[in-house]
Structure 1
Amino acid sequence: MAHLTLLAGDGTSRRADLVDTSGFERPTAPLRSRIAYAAAHVVPHTHADNTPGQPADIDWDATLAFRRNVYSWGLGVADAMDTAQRNMGLDAAATRELITRSAQVAREEGGSVVVGVNTDHIADERISIDQVIDAYLEQLHFTEEQGAGPVLMASRHLARAAESAEDYRRVYRAVLSQATTPVVLHWLGTAFDPQLQGYFGADDWQTASAVLREIIEDNVDRVAGVKMSLLDAASEVSVRERLPEGVRMFTGDDFNYVGLIGGADVPDAPQPPRDPSAAQQHSDALLGAFAALTPVASAAIQALDAGDAARYLDILAPTEELSRQVFAAPTFYYKTGVAFLAWLNGHQPAFQMVGGLHSARSLPHLSRIVELANDAKAFERPELAAERWHAMLRLNGLDA
C-alpha cells in the first residue's frame, strides 16, 4: 500500500497509509439544498518574481482552470476576495483583470460568480469618508459592468476613517443606493485582518451586528445576503435568525461550517442552540475552505439534496479539523494552505504564491495538512499528492 511520510515539529517522522478517494462523483444536476461558493485563490507563474512587494504575475491558464474545476463540481466561485490575496500580494491591476477573466469563465461554464468590491485600489492609507464612498462605487460599477455579483468587502480605509457607527451607515447607504443588482455584505473578523478592528462601529459583535442589521433593513431590496467570517458560530446563528426575509446568511466560518451549513437538516452536527421558529434554519456557504475541499464539499451537499443527513456528516465532518489547521493562527496566512493543497491536487505546476506567501507556513504545519487531508479524503489524486509532498521533503533534506 502506498504511504505518506509525515513530519513532526521535533523533526521526527512517521508513515501513514494513503487513503483511497475514488468515491466522489461530480453532480449530474445543479445542487439544490444549499448555495455554496468556493473562495478561489490565484496561481502565479512559476518563473515570476514571486517575492514580497512585487506586482502579481498571474498564470491565467492555471488560475482559470481552477475555477472551471470548481464549476464542474456544482459550486459557485467567489473571486478577487481575501483568498485571492487581496491586500496580501494581489495588486489593483491584477484584481481588475482577475474579475474580468473570471466573469468570462463563469459565462462560458454557466457558473455563478461573485467578486470582491473594496477600496484597496487607493494607495493612500487614510482617506475621507466621501473618498471611501467614491472608491467603493468605482469598484462596484466596474464589477457590475463585468456581469459579476458584487460582494461589498470590509474596507481598511473605512475602518480607519470611521469615527462612529453612523459613518458606516452613511457609507453603506450611499454605496447600496447605487447598486443595480443585489450585493452580499462581507463582515471579516480581526483574525483574518487585524486592521478591521471595530468594524461597524464596535469591538463587540453584539453591538456591531445591530448596526449591520440596520444597514440591511434599510436597504433590504439591495442586499442578497451577508457573509460572516468571525469564526464564532453563535454570533452567526444570532445574526442569521434576525435577517429580513430573502436575505441569506453565507457562512465564512472555516472552523464551524459543518453545523452551520447543516442547520436543522442535520441536528446531530455540532452547532449553537437555534430558535426553531426562526425563518432561516441553516447557512449557505462562501468559504475559502471549499476551494481546498471542492469535491468533498460537493459530495456533502449532494447528500443533503438526497435527504441523507448521516452521509452529509460522514463526508464533511472530517474536513473541519483539516480546515482548522489550514486556518490556524495567524489565520490570515490560511491562503498558504489553500495553495499548497491546490498544488498537491495537481491544479498548479508549483507551490508558488504571489508576494512570497508560500513561505508563510512551516514544514511541520504543512505536514499536518497532508495528514488531515488524507484522513478527510481531500486528495483528488492521492498518488500525485504523495509524490509531490515527498519531493518537497527531499528538497528540504529529509527522507521520504
Structure 2
Amino acid sequence: MSIRLPSADGGLRVHEPCTDPLRPLTFPPARSRRFYSAAHVVADPTATRAGTGTGTGPVVDWEATLAFRHRLWAQGLGVAEAMDTAQRGMGLDWPAAAELIRRSAADALAAGGRIVCGAGTDQLPRGEHTLAVIIAAYEEQLAHVEACGAPAVLMASRALAGAARGPEDYLEVYGRLLRQSARPVVLHWLGPMFDPELAGYWGHHGLDEATEVFLKIIAEYPDKVDGVKVSLLEADREVDLRRRLPATVRCYTGDDYHYPELIAGDGQHASDALLGIFDPIAPLAARAAAALDRGDSAGFRALLDPTVGLSRHLFAPPTRYYKTGVVLLAWLAGYQDHFAMVGGLESARSLLHLATAYAQADLLGLFPDPARAEDRMRSLLALHGVAS
C-alpha cells in the first residue's frame, strides 16, 4: 500500500508506509542522564466543562492523558508535567493545570516514575500587575506543586515580563520564591520563539546580559536550584552556560534543534534533558538513553540523530504551535482516539505541515501500527478534500 501526501509544490507525492515499526519495550529510569518528556494533554472533544453548560474552558480526558504518562514512565522517561507542551497559556488554564498536577503527581508516586511540575503565574488575568501580586501567584502554584509531592519547575511568567522594570525585579521575585521553596527547583528560561510575550526576560533583550542575571540568581541560591531548563534553540549558548553553572546544578536542555549533541556532551560537560520532542519520539529517546547507560555513545547518536529532522519540522516557526504536531502524532500512533486539542489548537498548522510530520515519523518507525496510522492520515486528508 502507498498513500499520496501533499507536497511543497502544491501537488501530491507518494509515501510508502513503514513495514518494520519499533516494537514496544520497557526500560528502567535512565542512570547516566535525567530524561524528562514534557507531555501533552488529551482533550475530551465531546465534554463540556462542569457547571458551565457552554463548553467554554479546557476539558481534559483524564484517563487518556494519564495513560500516556504511564507509557512514558514504562519506557524509563520522566514526565515534565503542566509545561508548555501541555498547552499552558495556550488552552490549558490554571484550574485544569492544577488538577493535572495533582493527578499526575499521585500516579507518578504509585508508578515509581520521575516527575517535575510547572509553577507559574497564569491564573492572573491579562493586564498590569504589581510585583507583590505576581509573587503571590507564583507562591500559590509553587505551594500546590509541593503539596502534591512533586519538585517544581519555576516557569517564565508573562506577567513578570510585562511588569519588570529591570533585572532587579527578577532578582527580587526569584529570590523570594527560592528562599521559601521546600525543595530545589528547576528554573526555566523559555525564549520568545516559544512565547513572544517573554521577550526581554531577565531584564534584558540581549542574551549576554540576560545570562548574567540568570547566573546571578543561581549563584545566590545554589542549594535551592536543582537545575536550569534552557529553551533558546542556541546550542553554543547552552554549552557556555552549563560550563558556568555550579557543580551541583544540572542543565536540562530544552533545545529541540540540537539535543543529541547537547545530551552527549563535550567530554567535560553534558546536558540532561527536558524536551517536548521526547513526547512523540519516546520509543527512540528511551532506547537512546539505554545506549548511553551502557556507555555506547555512538549507538546513542545513531538512535537520536535521525530524529532531529522531525523535531526541527515540528518546532519550525511559529515554534509555539509545535504542540499541534505532537498531538497529531499521538493520534496517528493510536495513543488517543482523535485529533482534537483544548482551545482548538489542532487548526494551528497547515495540512502540508501535518502530512510531512506523518511521513517523517513513519520513516522513524514511531507508529506501532503503520496501517492504522495510514488509515487515520487518509481520513484527515479526506476531511480536507484530498484524495489520497
Bucket of the pairwise TM-score, normalised by the shorter protein: over 0.9
Distance 2:191 2:176 in 1: 23
* SS of aligned partner of 2:288: helix
2:338 matches 1:350: yes
Query: TM-score scaled to structure 1, two decimals?
Result: 0.93
Distance 1:87 1:308 in 2: 39
Structure 2 unaligned blocks of 5 or more: 50-54
Describe the superposition over 1:8-60 as per-residue Cα deviations: whole angstroms up to 9, x where unpaired: 1343112222224444552443321111111011111121469xx93011111
Which of residues 279, 297, 300 is equivalent to 1:312? 300
Which stretch of the first structure deviates more once superposed, 367-376 or 138-147?
Answer: 367-376
Identity %: 48
Residue 279 of structure 2 corresponds to: 291
Instruction: Report how far residue 309 of structure 1 moved.
Output: 2.0
2:258 matches 1:256: yes
Number of residues paired by the alignment? Answer: 384
Pairing 1:331-370 to 2, within 5 Å after superposition: 331-370=319-358
C-alpha change, 1:259 and 1:203, in structure 2 (3 Å) is: same
RMSD after superposition: 1.7
Distance 2:358 2:27 in 1: 30
- Structure 1 runs, 4 residues or longer, greater than 6 Å off: none
C-alpha change, 1:306 and 1:22, in structure 2 (3 Å) is: farther
Which of residues 191, 209, 232 is equivalent to 1:189? 191
Structure 1 unaligned blocks of 5 or more: 265-275
Please tell me the residue identity of whatever aligns with 1:334. Answer: Y
C-alpha change, 1:374 and 1:67, in structure 2 (3 Å) is: same
Residues 21, 380 of structure 1: 8 Å contact kept: no
Pairing 1:73-222 to 2, within 5 Å after superposition: 73-222=75-224
Distance 2:330 2:255 in 1: 20
Describe the superposition over 1:63-117 as per-residue Cα deviations: whole angstroms up to 9, x where unpaired: 1111010101000000111111111110121111111011111112110111110
Distance 1:20 1:108 in 2: 36
Distance 2:28 2:63 in 1: 27
Instruction: Report how far residue 174 of structure 1 moved.
Output: 0.4
Residue 233 of structure 1 corresponds to: 235
2:372 matches 1:372: no
Distance 1:28 1:250 in 2: 21
Distance 1:21 1:306 in 2: 25
Which of residues 45, 61, 64 is equivalent to 1:62? 64
2:41 matches 1:42: yes
Distance 1:380 1:133 in 2: 45
Query: TM-score scaled to structure 2, two decimals?
Result: 0.95
Instruction: Report how far residue 245 of structure 1 moved.
Output: 1.1
C-alpha change, 1:367 and 1:22, in structure 2 (3 Å) is: closer
Distance 1:153 1:352 in 2: 26
Instruction: Report how far residue 366 of structure 1 moved.
Output: 0.5
Residues 23, 368 of structure 2: 8 Å contact kept: no
Residues 318, 375 of structure 1: 8 Å contact kept: no
Distance 2:227 2:176 in 1: 18
